[in-house]
Structure 1
Amino acid sequence: MDALYFELGWQHILNWEGYDHILFVIALSAIYLMKEWKKLLVLVTAFTIGHSITLALSVLHIIRISSSLVEFLIPVTICITALSNILRKDEEPQNLQLNYFYALFFGLIHGLGFSNYLKSLLGTQANIVQPLLGFNIGLEFGQLLIVAIVMLLSGTIVNIGRVSRRDWNMFLSSATFGIAFLMVVQGVRELLK
Protein backbone atom coordinates (compact mmCIF):
# COMPACT_ATOMS: atom_id res chain seq x y z
CA MET A 1 0.00 0.00 0.00
CA ASP A 2 1.24 3.48 -0.84
CA ALA A 3 1.36 5.60 2.37
CA LEU A 4 1.17 8.88 0.47
CA TYR A 5 -2.08 7.88 -1.25
CA PHE A 6 -3.45 6.49 2.02
CA GLU A 7 -2.93 9.93 3.57
CA LEU A 8 -4.42 11.67 0.53
CA GLY A 9 -7.46 9.35 0.73
CA TRP A 10 -8.37 10.07 4.34
CA GLN A 11 -7.56 13.75 3.96
CA HIS A 12 -9.79 13.94 0.88
CA ILE A 13 -12.82 12.42 2.62
CA LEU A 14 -12.34 14.65 5.69
CA ASN A 15 -11.84 17.83 3.65
CA TRP A 16 -14.67 20.28 4.40
CA GLU A 17 -14.57 21.49 0.79
CA GLY A 18 -15.82 18.03 -0.21
CA TYR A 19 -18.51 17.94 2.45
CA ASP A 20 -20.89 16.05 0.17
CA HIS A 21 -19.11 12.78 0.97
CA ILE A 22 -19.11 13.62 4.69
CA LEU A 23 -22.87 14.24 4.47
CA PHE A 24 -23.42 10.87 2.82
CA VAL A 25 -21.51 9.04 5.57
CA ILE A 26 -23.51 11.00 8.17
CA ALA A 27 -26.75 9.96 6.43
CA LEU A 28 -25.62 6.33 6.42
CA SER A 29 -24.73 6.53 10.13
CA ALA A 30 -27.73 8.53 11.37
CA ILE A 31 -29.94 5.56 12.31
CA TYR A 32 -27.27 3.56 14.16
CA LEU A 33 -26.11 3.56 17.76
CA MET A 34 -22.86 2.21 19.18
CA LYS A 35 -24.35 -1.22 19.94
CA GLU A 36 -24.94 -1.65 16.17
CA TRP A 37 -21.39 -0.78 15.12
CA LYS A 38 -20.87 -4.09 13.28
CA LYS A 39 -23.88 -3.47 11.02
CA LEU A 40 -22.65 0.04 10.27
CA LEU A 41 -19.10 -1.18 9.61
CA VAL A 42 -20.43 -3.60 6.97
CA LEU A 43 -22.60 -0.83 5.50
CA VAL A 44 -19.68 1.60 5.19
CA THR A 45 -17.52 -1.17 3.72
CA ALA A 46 -20.23 -1.86 1.10
CA PHE A 47 -20.08 1.84 0.22
CA THR A 48 -16.28 1.60 -0.06
CA ILE A 49 -16.52 -1.45 -2.33
CA GLY A 50 -18.91 0.45 -4.59
CA HIS A 51 -16.78 3.54 -4.89
CA SER A 52 -13.61 1.45 -5.28
CA ILE A 53 -15.09 -0.24 -8.36
CA THR A 54 -16.00 2.95 -10.21
CA LEU A 55 -12.89 4.75 -8.99
CA ALA A 56 -10.74 2.04 -10.58
CA LEU A 57 -12.83 1.91 -13.78
CA SER A 58 -12.69 5.67 -14.15
CA VAL A 59 -8.97 5.98 -13.41
CA LEU A 60 -8.33 3.24 -15.98
CA HIS A 61 -10.49 5.22 -18.48
CA ILE A 62 -12.92 2.32 -18.88
CA ILE A 63 -15.90 4.50 -17.97
CA ARG A 64 -16.37 8.21 -18.46
CA ILE A 65 -19.28 10.21 -17.12
CA SER A 66 -19.73 13.96 -17.14
CA SER A 67 -18.47 15.50 -13.90
CA SER A 68 -21.50 17.84 -13.76
CA LEU A 69 -23.82 14.80 -13.87
CA VAL A 70 -21.83 13.11 -11.10
CA GLU A 71 -21.85 16.29 -9.00
CA PHE A 72 -25.64 16.31 -9.39
CA LEU A 73 -26.09 12.61 -8.58
CA ILE A 74 -23.99 12.65 -5.39
CA PRO A 75 -26.37 14.96 -3.47
CA VAL A 76 -29.31 12.97 -4.89
CA THR A 77 -27.87 9.87 -3.16
CA ILE A 78 -27.61 11.85 0.08
CA CYS A 79 -31.22 13.03 -0.21
CA ILE A 80 -32.49 9.50 -0.88
CA THR A 81 -30.53 8.07 2.07
CA ALA A 82 -31.63 10.83 4.46
CA LEU A 83 -35.25 10.61 3.29
CA SER A 84 -35.19 6.85 3.78
CA ASN A 85 -34.04 7.49 7.37
CA ILE A 86 -36.84 10.03 7.92
CA LEU A 87 -39.54 7.70 6.56
CA ARG A 88 -38.29 4.77 8.63
CA LYS A 89 -41.00 3.38 10.93
CA ASP A 90 -38.77 1.34 13.22
CA GLU A 91 -36.25 2.91 15.54
CA GLU A 92 -33.73 0.12 14.96
CA PRO A 93 -32.48 -0.51 11.42
CA GLN A 94 -34.42 -3.24 9.61
CA ASN A 95 -34.09 -4.68 6.10
CA LEU A 96 -30.30 -4.48 6.19
CA GLN A 97 -29.83 -6.16 2.81
CA LEU A 98 -31.59 -3.23 1.16
CA ASN A 99 -29.39 -0.78 3.11
CA TYR A 100 -26.28 -2.64 1.92
CA PHE A 101 -27.51 -2.56 -1.68
CA TYR A 102 -28.10 1.20 -1.46
CA ALA A 103 -24.67 1.77 0.06
CA LEU A 104 -22.98 -0.33 -2.63
CA PHE A 105 -24.96 1.27 -5.48
CA PHE A 106 -24.52 4.82 -4.18
CA GLY A 107 -20.84 4.05 -3.66
CA LEU A 108 -20.57 3.49 -7.41
CA ILE A 109 -21.74 7.08 -7.96
CA HIS A 110 -19.47 8.55 -5.28
CA GLY A 111 -16.47 6.73 -6.76
CA LEU A 112 -16.92 8.74 -9.93
CA GLY A 113 -16.72 11.88 -7.80
CA PHE A 114 -13.45 10.76 -6.23
CA SER A 115 -11.98 9.77 -9.60
CA ASN A 116 -11.31 13.26 -10.97
CA TYR A 117 -9.28 14.10 -7.88
CA LEU A 118 -7.32 10.84 -8.01
CA LYS A 119 -6.71 11.10 -11.78
CA SER A 120 -5.19 14.54 -11.29
CA LEU A 121 -2.86 13.10 -8.64
CA LEU A 122 -1.80 10.09 -10.69
CA GLY A 123 -1.00 12.03 -13.85
CA THR A 124 0.67 9.67 -16.31
CA GLN A 125 1.82 7.17 -13.69
CA ALA A 126 1.92 3.68 -15.23
CA ASN A 127 1.36 1.51 -12.15
CA ILE A 128 -1.83 2.60 -10.41
CA VAL A 129 -2.58 -0.50 -8.31
CA GLN A 130 -0.64 0.59 -5.20
CA PRO A 131 -1.83 4.23 -5.29
CA LEU A 132 -5.43 3.13 -5.91
CA LEU A 133 -5.32 0.65 -3.03
CA GLY A 134 -3.72 3.20 -0.71
CA PHE A 135 -6.25 5.87 -1.66
CA ASN A 136 -9.22 3.53 -1.12
CA ILE A 137 -7.95 2.34 2.24
CA GLY A 138 -7.39 5.98 3.21
CA LEU A 139 -10.97 6.81 2.18
CA GLU A 140 -12.27 3.91 4.29
CA PHE A 141 -10.21 5.10 7.27
CA GLY A 142 -11.60 8.63 6.89
CA GLN A 143 -15.15 7.31 6.61
CA LEU A 144 -14.69 5.27 9.78
CA LEU A 145 -13.50 8.41 11.59
CA ILE A 146 -16.70 10.19 10.53
CA VAL A 147 -18.77 7.17 11.62
CA ALA A 148 -17.04 7.11 15.02
CA ILE A 149 -17.78 10.82 15.55
CA VAL A 150 -21.44 10.41 14.55
CA MET A 151 -21.86 7.34 16.76
CA LEU A 152 -20.26 9.07 19.75
CA LEU A 153 -22.45 12.11 19.22
CA SER A 154 -25.55 9.95 18.77
CA GLY A 155 -24.76 7.90 21.86
CA THR A 156 -24.23 11.03 23.93
CA ILE A 157 -27.45 12.69 22.75
CA VAL A 158 -29.64 9.57 22.98
CA ASN A 159 -28.21 7.91 26.09
CA ILE A 160 -27.01 10.83 28.17
CA GLY A 161 -29.18 13.65 26.81
CA ARG A 162 -32.26 11.41 26.88
CA VAL A 163 -33.38 12.48 23.41
CA SER A 164 -35.41 9.73 21.77
CA ARG A 165 -33.62 7.79 19.10
CA ARG A 166 -36.38 8.61 16.62
CA ASP A 167 -36.16 12.37 17.35
CA TRP A 168 -32.37 12.34 16.95
CA ASN A 169 -32.64 10.44 13.66
CA MET A 170 -35.27 12.92 12.43
CA PHE A 171 -33.08 15.89 13.37
CA LEU A 172 -29.84 14.56 11.90
CA SER A 173 -31.43 13.12 8.75
CA SER A 174 -33.56 16.22 8.14
CA ALA A 175 -30.57 18.54 8.49
CA THR A 176 -28.56 16.33 6.13
CA PHE A 177 -31.47 16.20 3.67
CA GLY A 178 -31.85 19.98 3.74
CA ILE A 179 -28.20 20.64 2.94
CA ALA A 180 -28.14 17.98 0.23
CA PHE A 181 -31.37 19.28 -1.31
CA LEU A 182 -29.76 22.70 -1.77
CA MET A 183 -26.87 20.92 -3.50
CA VAL A 184 -29.33 19.12 -5.80
CA VAL A 185 -30.90 22.46 -6.77
CA GLN A 186 -27.43 23.86 -7.52
CA GLY A 187 -26.63 20.71 -9.52
CA VAL A 188 -29.76 21.14 -11.62
CA ARG A 189 -28.73 24.72 -12.38
CA GLU A 190 -25.29 23.51 -13.48
CA LEU A 191 -26.78 20.81 -15.71
CA LEU A 192 -29.11 23.32 -17.37
CA LYS A 193 -26.30 25.75 -18.27
Structure 2
Amino acid sequence: MDALYFELGWQHIVNWDAYDHILFVIALSAIYLLRDWKKVLVLVTAFTIGHSVTLALSVLNIIRIPSEIVEFLIPVTICITALSNILRKTEQPQSLQLNYFYALFFGLIHGLGFSNYLKSLLGSQANIVQPLLGFNIGLEVGQIVIVMAILIFSTLIVNIGRIKRRDWTMFLSSATFGAAFIMVLEGIRTFSE
Protein backbone atom coordinates (compact mmCIF):
# COMPACT_ATOMS: atom_id res chain seq x y z
CA MET A 1 0.00 0.00 0.00
CA ASP A 2 1.22 3.50 -0.82
CA ALA A 3 1.31 5.60 2.39
CA LEU A 4 1.14 8.91 0.50
CA TYR A 5 -2.10 7.91 -1.23
CA PHE A 6 -3.50 6.48 2.02
CA GLU A 7 -2.95 9.91 3.57
CA LEU A 8 -4.53 11.64 0.56
CA GLY A 9 -7.58 9.35 0.70
CA TRP A 10 -7.93 9.88 4.44
CA GLN A 11 -7.58 13.65 4.13
CA HIS A 12 -9.98 13.80 1.20
CA ILE A 13 -12.89 12.22 3.09
CA VAL A 14 -12.43 14.01 6.42
CA ASN A 15 -11.86 17.40 4.76
CA TRP A 16 -14.90 19.67 4.92
CA ASP A 17 -14.36 20.38 1.20
CA ALA A 18 -15.64 16.82 0.66
CA TYR A 19 -18.84 17.61 2.54
CA ASP A 20 -20.96 15.96 -0.15
CA HIS A 21 -19.38 12.59 0.67
CA ILE A 22 -19.63 13.32 4.39
CA LEU A 23 -23.35 14.08 3.93
CA PHE A 24 -23.86 10.73 2.22
CA VAL A 25 -22.14 8.90 5.08
CA ILE A 26 -24.35 10.83 7.54
CA ALA A 27 -27.49 9.91 5.59
CA LEU A 28 -26.40 6.28 5.47
CA SER A 29 -25.67 6.21 9.22
CA ALA A 30 -28.58 8.34 10.48
CA ILE A 31 -30.82 5.41 11.42
CA TYR A 32 -28.20 3.64 13.52
CA LEU A 33 -26.80 3.90 17.03
CA LEU A 34 -23.44 2.77 18.40
CA ARG A 35 -24.77 -0.71 19.19
CA ASP A 36 -25.40 -1.14 15.43
CA TRP A 37 -21.74 -0.56 14.52
CA LYS A 38 -21.35 -3.96 12.78
CA LYS A 39 -24.24 -3.23 10.42
CA VAL A 40 -22.82 0.20 9.63
CA LEU A 41 -19.38 -1.26 9.00
CA VAL A 42 -20.94 -3.53 6.35
CA LEU A 43 -22.63 -0.49 4.77
CA VAL A 44 -19.46 1.60 4.72
CA THR A 45 -17.52 -1.30 3.22
CA ALA A 46 -20.21 -1.72 0.53
CA PHE A 47 -19.87 1.99 -0.23
CA THR A 48 -16.09 1.61 -0.48
CA ILE A 49 -16.43 -1.39 -2.80
CA GLY A 50 -18.80 0.58 -5.02
CA HIS A 51 -16.63 3.65 -5.30
CA SER A 52 -13.47 1.56 -5.66
CA VAL A 53 -14.87 -0.11 -8.78
CA THR A 54 -15.79 3.09 -10.59
CA LEU A 55 -12.71 4.89 -9.31
CA ALA A 56 -10.49 2.23 -10.89
CA LEU A 57 -12.51 2.13 -14.12
CA SER A 58 -12.44 5.89 -14.42
CA VAL A 59 -8.74 6.28 -13.59
CA LEU A 60 -8.00 3.63 -16.25
CA ASN A 61 -10.18 5.61 -18.70
CA ILE A 62 -12.51 2.64 -19.21
CA ILE A 63 -15.52 4.76 -18.33
CA ARG A 64 -15.89 8.49 -18.79
CA ILE A 65 -18.82 10.48 -17.49
CA PRO A 66 -18.79 14.28 -17.56
CA SER A 67 -18.00 15.69 -14.13
CA GLU A 68 -21.06 17.99 -14.25
CA ILE A 69 -23.33 14.94 -14.37
CA VAL A 70 -21.46 13.20 -11.56
CA GLU A 71 -21.47 16.31 -9.39
CA PHE A 72 -25.24 16.52 -9.92
CA LEU A 73 -25.86 12.83 -9.18
CA ILE A 74 -23.90 12.81 -5.91
CA PRO A 75 -26.35 15.09 -4.05
CA VAL A 76 -29.25 13.18 -5.64
CA THR A 77 -27.91 10.01 -3.97
CA ILE A 78 -27.80 11.85 -0.64
CA CYS A 79 -31.39 13.08 -1.07
CA ILE A 80 -32.66 9.59 -1.91
CA THR A 81 -30.90 8.02 1.07
CA ALA A 82 -32.07 10.72 3.50
CA LEU A 83 -35.63 10.59 2.14
CA SER A 84 -35.63 6.82 2.58
CA ASN A 85 -34.75 7.38 6.26
CA ILE A 86 -37.54 9.94 6.64
CA LEU A 87 -40.15 7.65 5.06
CA ARG A 88 -39.01 4.59 7.03
CA LYS A 89 -41.95 3.11 8.95
CA THR A 90 -40.04 1.57 11.87
CA GLU A 91 -37.74 3.12 14.40
CA GLN A 92 -35.28 0.22 14.33
CA PRO A 93 -33.47 -0.66 11.09
CA GLN A 94 -34.92 -4.08 10.22
CA SER A 95 -32.58 -5.20 7.48
CA LEU A 96 -29.56 -4.08 5.57
CA GLN A 97 -30.98 -4.90 2.16
CA LEU A 98 -32.12 -1.45 0.98
CA ASN A 99 -29.33 0.45 2.71
CA TYR A 100 -26.79 -2.06 1.42
CA PHE A 101 -28.09 -1.43 -2.11
CA TYR A 102 -27.85 2.35 -1.57
CA ALA A 103 -24.32 2.05 -0.25
CA LEU A 104 -23.08 -0.17 -3.06
CA PHE A 105 -24.90 1.44 -5.99
CA PHE A 106 -24.44 5.02 -4.85
CA GLY A 107 -20.80 4.23 -4.08
CA LEU A 108 -20.40 3.65 -7.81
CA ILE A 109 -21.52 7.23 -8.44
CA HIS A 110 -19.37 8.69 -5.66
CA GLY A 111 -16.33 6.86 -7.04
CA LEU A 112 -16.68 8.86 -10.22
CA GLY A 113 -16.55 11.99 -8.09
CA PHE A 114 -13.25 10.90 -6.53
CA SER A 115 -11.79 9.98 -9.92
CA ASN A 116 -10.97 13.48 -11.21
CA TYR A 117 -9.14 14.25 -7.98
CA LEU A 118 -7.17 11.00 -8.11
CA LYS A 119 -6.42 11.31 -11.84
CA SER A 120 -4.85 14.71 -11.25
CA LEU A 121 -2.66 13.22 -8.51
CA LEU A 122 -1.58 10.18 -10.52
CA GLY A 123 -0.67 12.10 -13.67
CA SER A 124 0.97 9.74 -16.14
CA GLN A 125 2.02 7.18 -13.51
CA ALA A 126 2.06 3.70 -15.08
CA ASN A 127 1.33 1.53 -12.05
CA ILE A 128 -1.86 2.66 -10.35
CA VAL A 129 -2.65 -0.43 -8.25
CA GLN A 130 -0.80 0.58 -5.10
CA PRO A 131 -1.83 4.25 -5.20
CA LEU A 132 -5.43 3.23 -5.86
CA LEU A 133 -5.38 0.72 -3.00
CA GLY A 134 -3.79 3.23 -0.64
CA PHE A 135 -6.29 5.94 -1.58
CA ASN A 136 -9.28 3.61 -1.11
CA ILE A 137 -8.05 2.31 2.24
CA GLY A 138 -7.51 5.91 3.37
CA LEU A 139 -11.06 6.76 2.30
CA GLU A 140 -12.41 3.72 4.16
CA VAL A 141 -10.60 4.64 7.37
CA GLY A 142 -11.84 8.24 7.07
CA GLN A 143 -15.41 7.04 6.53
CA ILE A 144 -15.18 4.78 9.57
CA VAL A 145 -14.01 7.72 11.70
CA ILE A 146 -16.95 9.83 10.49
CA VAL A 147 -19.41 6.98 11.05
CA MET A 148 -18.12 6.33 14.57
CA ALA A 149 -18.50 10.03 15.42
CA ILE A 150 -22.07 9.98 14.09
CA LEU A 151 -22.93 6.78 15.98
CA ILE A 152 -21.46 8.05 19.25
CA PHE A 153 -23.21 11.42 18.90
CA SER A 154 -26.53 9.77 17.98
CA THR A 155 -26.27 7.39 20.92
CA LEU A 156 -25.63 10.28 23.30
CA ILE A 157 -28.57 12.25 21.89
CA VAL A 158 -30.97 9.29 22.12
CA ASN A 159 -29.81 7.65 25.36
CA ILE A 160 -28.59 10.57 27.46
CA GLY A 161 -30.57 13.39 25.85
CA ARG A 162 -33.72 11.24 25.99
CA ILE A 163 -34.68 12.21 22.44
CA LYS A 164 -36.82 9.58 20.72
CA ARG A 165 -34.77 7.63 18.22
CA ARG A 166 -37.30 8.26 15.45
CA ASP A 167 -37.26 12.02 16.15
CA TRP A 168 -33.47 12.09 15.99
CA THR A 169 -33.44 10.11 12.74
CA MET A 170 -36.02 12.51 11.27
CA PHE A 171 -34.00 15.55 12.35
CA LEU A 172 -30.65 14.26 11.11
CA SER A 173 -32.05 12.92 7.85
CA SER A 174 -34.08 16.07 7.18
CA ALA A 175 -31.08 18.31 7.76
CA THR A 176 -28.98 16.14 5.48
CA PHE A 177 -31.73 16.11 2.85
CA GLY A 178 -32.01 19.91 3.03
CA ALA A 179 -28.27 20.44 2.54
CA ALA A 180 -28.17 17.98 -0.35
CA PHE A 181 -31.30 19.40 -1.97
CA ILE A 182 -29.63 22.82 -2.15
CA MET A 183 -26.75 21.12 -4.00
CA VAL A 184 -29.26 19.48 -6.38
CA LEU A 185 -30.82 22.88 -7.13
CA GLU A 186 -27.37 24.35 -7.77
CA GLY A 187 -26.69 21.47 -10.16
CA ILE A 188 -29.95 22.13 -12.02
CA ARG A 189 -29.01 25.80 -12.27
CA THR A 190 -25.61 24.83 -13.71
CA PHE A 191 -27.28 22.65 -16.37
CA SER A 192 -29.67 25.44 -17.36
CA GLU A 193 -26.90 28.00 -17.92
The answer for the alignment partner of 1:125 in structure 2 is 125
1:146-165 alignment runs, 5 A limit: 146-165=146-165
The answer for the alignment partner of 2:46 in structure 1 is 46
Q: Give 5+ residue unaligned stretches, structure 2.
A: none
CA distance in 2 between counterparts of 1:55 and 1:120 reads 13
1:22-61 alignment runs, 5 A limit: 22-61=22-61
CA distance in 1 between counterparts of 2:77 and 2:184 reads 10
CA distance in 1 between counterparts of 2:101 and 2:150 reads 22
**What is the count of residue pairs matched by the alignment?**
193
- Give the secondary structure class of the aligned counterpart of 1:157: helix
1:71-114 residue CA offsets vs partner (Å, 9 max, x unmatched):
00000000000000000111111231121111100000000000
Letter in 1 for 2:98: L
Q: Does 1:82 align with 2:82?
A: yes
Percent of aligned pairs sharing the same letter: 80
The answer for the alignment partner of 2:91 in structure 1 is 91
The answer for the alignment partner of 1:73 in structure 2 is 73
The CA RMSD measured in Å over matched residues stands at 0.6
Q: Give 5+ residue unaligned stretches, structure 1.
A: none
CA distance in 2 between counterparts of 1:88 and 1:169 reads 10
CA distance in 1 between counterparts of 2:173 and 2:98 reads 18
The answer for the alignment partner of 2:177 in structure 1 is 177
CA distance in 2 between counterparts of 1:59 and 1:88 reads 37
Report the TM-score, using the length of structure 2 for normalisation. 0.99
CA distance in 2 between counterparts of 1:182 and 1:101 reads 24
CA distance in 2 between counterparts of 1:95 and 1:36 reads 11
The answer for the alignment partner of 2:109 in structure 1 is 109
